Amino acid sequence: MDSVKKANLRIRNYPILLGKCSVAAAAYATCVTTDLNVSHKMCEQEFQLFKQCLQKAASDMKTRL
């Protein structure tokens, strides 16, 4: 059951992580919603920046995603 507790703790940290990456998240969301015909890897650069931000924020908080 220890693994369940750790998973629940990580899930509770998601709003904090998203808050720390709100600028990157907004840029990615803007890119995805600008065109109704979203294609594969259309917003790859924005997604990578958002992903890197989340990974760095998780690392700074000493948690995993």
Q: What is the pLDDT of residues 13-60, one digit of tens each?
A: 999 999 999 999 999 999 999 988 888 989 999 999 999 999 999 999
Question: The whole model's pTM is what?
Answer: 0.84
> In whole angstroms, what is the distance from residue 64 CA to residue 14 CA?
10
Crossing angle for the helix pair 44-60 and 22-33, to the nearest 10 degrees: 160
In the prediction, which pLDDT does 35 show? 86
Q: Could you tell me which of 58, 31, 53 has the C-alpha nearest to residue 43?
A: 31
Domain boundaries of the chain, sorted by first residue? 2-60
> In whole angstroms, what is the distance from residue 7 CA to residue 5 CA?
5
